[in-house]
A = this chain, B = another copy of it.
Amino acid sequence: MPMPTDHELFDLGDVVLQRGATLRGATLAYKTYGTLNADKSNVIVHPTWYSAWHDANEWTIGKGRACDPDEYFIVVPNQLNNGLSSSPSNTPPPYDGPNFPPVTFYDQVEVQHRLLTQKWGIESIELVLGSSMGAAQTYQWAVSHPEMVKRAAPIVGAPVTSEHNQVFLKSLRAALTADPVFNGGRYSPGALPTVGLRAFARIYAGWGLSQAFYRQREYRRIGFSSLEDFLVGFWEGFWLDDRDPNNLLGMLWTWEHGDVVQTPGLDGDTEAALRSIRCPLLAMPGKTDLYFPPEDEEWASQFIPNGEVRVIPSIYGHFAGLGNNPADNDFIDGALKELLHRPA
């Protein structure tokens, strides 16, 4: 699936990023589903995951689902670095390509907050949800704006990127940048480091799904004829499809440095940041997720006053939370409905 074009753009103006750079004339790409009601009380925010665009979240949205556009106004902001919002691939010098500045999850949420408050005057959000890096943004929303967020549902993601997860990310970076065509990020758009991207794809293939997924050759059920077909047809195809390497490394940096402790005023105390979350927060890790294992969510949940963990009983590994398996989607949808019906 190539990069979608059915989004709108919000002019952020100048964005002073947490690590120091100012991104001038920055843009946030977003798509909305449904209609904002008169008292602005039907808002759902659903940030995007690594490498994804807004369309990757559409599996959660639809008539009869928890995120029903007949009832809710659902905003899907594209994270900075994903190629639609301001990113290495679409920013002019001096912050173009490999010169694009580092963006934290705190920054991601702040620009989304600007969109909601400045464009629509929204003051309250019924639900923030998101998968993977979207889950990290969900946690960050609950920490940064406890006065706004009424419910939170982070899916297959965490408030702190664990060291083991970081090792996975560092291996992706090392493989991608080993390709000489990458050339410190100064490749030309027509000549991408495809050897590095294919290595990146093979690494991701091992991490994204579980041992049991491969043991049961589950890839056959989703349209791939063999292991090799899955590795090339799905995985290499995915990363070679409009995924700009500098964008990927930009998002990787955000992910690698993920920690709600970076919220200003929380004094470098992760546990205090988690304790500051006021709303009900229902975390849904995947039982067989190799890089966001349920144990990390269970650790975090103990500090969140209204925290709960509900493990997705799936062999789809990390992909349990990305909309690929109908049974997992139903599990998540059921939990979201229950959460939305709770008083907040």
Contacts and interface: CB of A to CB of B under 8 A. Distances in A.
Contact of A296 (B196, B213, B215): B215
B202 A174 contact: yes
Quickly give the copy total for this chain. 2
A43 interface: no
A209 B166 CA distance: 13
Interface in A202-234: 202-203, 205-207, 209-215, 217, 227, 231
A315 to B, nearest CB: 11
Given A171-B202, A178-B179, A202-B174, A227 B166 contact: yes
Contacts of A164: 206, 209-211, 213-215
B295 A206 contact: no
B163 A227 contact: yes
B295 A202 contact: no
Nearest to A213: B164
Complex A-B, nearest 7 residue pairs according to Cβ-Cβ distance, in ascending order: A174-B199, A164-B214, A171-B202, A175-B175, A167-B206, A163-B214, A171-B203
11 contacts: A162-B215, A164-B206, A164-B210, A164-B213, A164-B215, A170-B231, A174-B175, A174-B199, A175-B202, A178-B199, A199-B199
